[in-house]
Chains A and B, each alone.
Chain A
Amino acid sequence: MEIGPIFRAMWRNRIGVALIALQIAFTMTVVVNAIYIINERSRLMARPSGLDEANLFYLRSVGFQEGFDEESTIVEDRILLQATPGIIDMTVMNAIPLSGSGSSTGVRVNPDANGPSTYTALYRVDEHAIDTMGLELIAGENFTTAEVRQLGRLDSGSTAPIIITEALAEALFTGGAAEALGNTLYWQVDIPMQIIGVVKQLQAPWPTFASIENSMLIPNNILDGQSLYLVRTEPGQVNTMMLRVEELLADSNPARIIMNVKSLEETRADSYRIDSSMARILLVVIVILVFITSMGVVGLAVFGINRRRRQIGTRRALGATQGQIIRYFLVENLIISGIGVTLGAVLTLGFNIFLVQTFNMPRIEWYYTPLGMLALVLVGLLAVLGPSRGAARIPPAIATRTV
């Protein structure tokens, strides 16, 4: 093909070409990085929590009258819920996974208070936690009823049983779950904790927590007048049971009120709301940018074609077929896009390095850049196809008719 003369002819109009090539380069930079961010967010959003989220909801039981007995209320509530068809189990805990609020602590394998600690979420639960959340116990055992202390702090000097996640076990012990089982951990309070079980997965309550897979269950709830219940229903009944349970509990004990009834799916959606709206905004930005760039390509092509109508007619008169005219503009477009995406590839990687350093994101996968280049070249060709076909329809008689 006539790349040489096309290129030399473009060189005489290099400002317009350079501007469009720059536009393509910037579009590619933003689009590729935006898609990368969207994919990154989607990957975060798609991570499982380890819970049977579809069938879980939670609520808060808050005492407001004098004489409200939290401990006996919990016992009564449990009896009531266990007798309710559609409810599988319930647990009383201090924090709900995915909810964004909870507590964390540093734990050590070594009793030395100055030694290095590993951060983990801390869930205060009872013996129903594993069944209610739907966790998979991969080693050891669940807490026994006797191990659960609802009353205040643990006794100093005694050993508390704990269950940890496999990720935490692997972070602490080279031998992972197998080595962790039976071992002892220490935390700020000088109470040793013995690992009696390991669960496959349970995420910390904060989606942005760096050690999100590190969680620890301890059978010790603090009674503070308001208890958090996590309730697991039969599959597909979460919405009806939320209403039913709220009513049942409110009626059974008028000394407290039932608040914050919310399903875990809603909780997940709320927690990742910023991420999903960011993804949506970026998607809109991508569409707009690609549209504007295609319009720029179309504009440059249409401008060039109108300016060269007589030239095109002359080419037709000299024997160019319609296909050869179309090819001329496609090649011209390929040259512009080629310059644009090559520059775009450099900018894309540069911008990604900036994102990695500033926002601590993982590096872009290698194939994003070539795919982005290919996509923008295709967009350019598609944009220029219409104008080129218009150019091919310019009659050869233009050559003798225009002066």
Chain B
Amino acid sequence: MLKMKDVGKVYRTELVETRALTSFSLDVDEGEFVTVTGPSGCGKTTFLNIAGLLETYSSGTYLLDGQDVSELGDRQRARLRNRKIGFIFQSFNLMPDLNLFDNVDVPLRYRGMRASERRQRVDQMLDSVGLLSRKKHLPSQLSGGQQQRVAIARALVGEPRFLLADEPTGNLDSHTAAGVMELLEQVNESGTTIIMVTHDDSLAQRARRNVKILDGRIQSIDQLADSRIPATPVSDRALSANA
């Protein structure tokens, strides 16, 4: 699914040149759950941004589903982000002026989907994270864990095959974090490829592979569990039972 070879990223400002990533090579297969850890400033977000087509890279090659993404224009990148990739952010990034329904609806609108289909999908998604009854509420009326579940619903509503999460539990207490983690695991079990950046080692250890980054380079890749893609999709009830 994701194939990076010798990817380098250099940030240039007037005074300094920061090498955020150097000869970064990583393959992620369809259906994997990969966690990324490393000290602050080592380049985790940079990697995730490049993987998710939010940023371009300075050197090397990156193939997403076999396609060289350096050839894509801004519109095509936006389209891919919309259809293929889901994002979960550390600080949730919900639109504060929109209620939960409208928030989850955002990516579908950019896809130009019919209203009736959007409504059905959004309701179903909110239901699966256990927040359907609060769809008219504003994000500010929810707890952090609930907000992140809305953000996960938004990331998944378009049925992306690739989910990128940048410290999704970073703003949550450990109990709530564990709930969000279980939710992500279930999403992964239903077939979605996940790359998750985290500072929490215990969470990092739950994935199949853990990539450790140091100073923009891969320090180690730990194989943690057997590769296993579940045969049965997860039921809605199981998803909402967590977090």
Interface residues of A (CB under 8 A from B): 2, 4-5, 8-9, 12-13, 310-311, 314-324, 395-397, 399-401, 403
Contacts and interface: CB of A to CB of B under 8 A. Distances in A.
A400 B78 contact: no
B166 A319 contact: no
A400 B110 contact: no
A9 B96 CA distance: 8
4 residue pairs, one from A and one from B, having the closest CB atoms: A319-B82, A9-B97, A314-B93, A396-B54
B23 interface: no
A8 B98 contact: yes
B106 A318 contact: yes
25 contacts: A2-B109, A4-B102, A5-B98, A8-B99, A13-B97, A311-B96, A314-B93, A314-B95, A315-B106, A316-B54, A316-B78, A317-B87, A318-B81, A319-B78, A319-B107, A321-B110, A322-B78, A323-B75, A395-B54, A396-B81, A397-B54, A400-B48, A400-B54, A400-B90, A400-B166
Tell me which of B74, B93, B99 has the highest count of chain A C-beta atoms within 10 A of its own C-beta. B93
Interface string B151-175: 0001000100000001000000000
B89 A320 contact: no
Contacts of B105: 5
Nearest to B105: A5
Given A8-B99, A318-B81, A321-B74, A399 B45 contact: no
Interface string B60-101: 000000000000001100110111000101110101111100
B237 interface: no
Interface in B86-143: 87, 89-91, 93, 95-99, 102, 105-107, 109-111
Contacts of B79: 319, 321
Contacts of A319: 78-79, 81-83, 107, 110-111, 158
Nearest to A401: B45
A12 B109 contact: no
Given A9-B95, A311-B95, A318 B49 contact: no
B90 A397 contact: no
A2 B81 CA distance: 19
A396 B52 CA distance: 10
B91 A318 contact: no
B75 A399 contact: no
A306 to B, nearest CB: 15
A400 B49 contact: yes
A400 B45 CA distance: 7
A322 B102 contact: no
Tell me which of A8, A324, A395, A396 has the highest count of chain B C-beta atoms within 10 A of its own C-beta. A396
Tell me which of B78, B102, B105 has the highest count of chain A C-beta atoms within 10 A of its own C-beta. B78
Interface of B: 45, 48-49, 52, 54-55, 74-75, 78-79, 81-83, 87, 89-91, 93, 95-99, 102, 105-107, 109-111, 154, 158, 166
A5 B81 contact: no
Contacts of A403: 90-91
Nearest to B151: A314
Given A318-B87, A319-B83, A324-B110, A9 B98 contact: yes
A395 B55 contact: yes
B43 to A, nearest CB: 12
B54 A320 contact: no
A324 B95 CA distance: 16
A219 to B, nearest CB: 83
Given A2-B109, A8-B98, A319-B82, A314 B89 contact: yes
Contacts of A4: 102
Contacts of A395: 54-55
Nearest to B45: A400
B240 to A, nearest CB: 23
Nearest to B115: A4
B75 A321 contact: yes
A4 B136 CA distance: 13
Contacts of B78: 316, 319-322
Contacts of B89: 314, 399-400
Nearest to B81: A319
A9 B105 CA distance: 14
Given A318-B154, A400-B89, A12 B110 contact: no
Nearest to A319: B82
Nearest to A4: B102
A322 B73 CA distance: 12
Given A8-B98, A322-B75, 5 more contacts: A5-B102, A9-B98, A396-B81, A399-B87, A403-B91
A201 to B, nearest CB: 65
Contacts of B154: 318
Contacts of B82: 318-320
A5 B89 CA distance: 22
A12 B81 contact: no
A2 B110 CA distance: 9
Nearest to A13: B97
B52 to A, nearest CB: 7
A396 B54 CA distance: 5
A167 B110 CA distance: 68
Contacts of A396: 54-55, 81
Contacts of A5: 98, 102, 105-106, 109
Contacts of B45: 400-401
A145 to B, nearest CB: 89
A313 to B, nearest CB: 8
A13 B98 CA distance: 12
Contacts of B96: 311
A397 B74 contact: no
A311 B97 CA distance: 10
Contact of A12 (B54, B74, B97, B106): B97
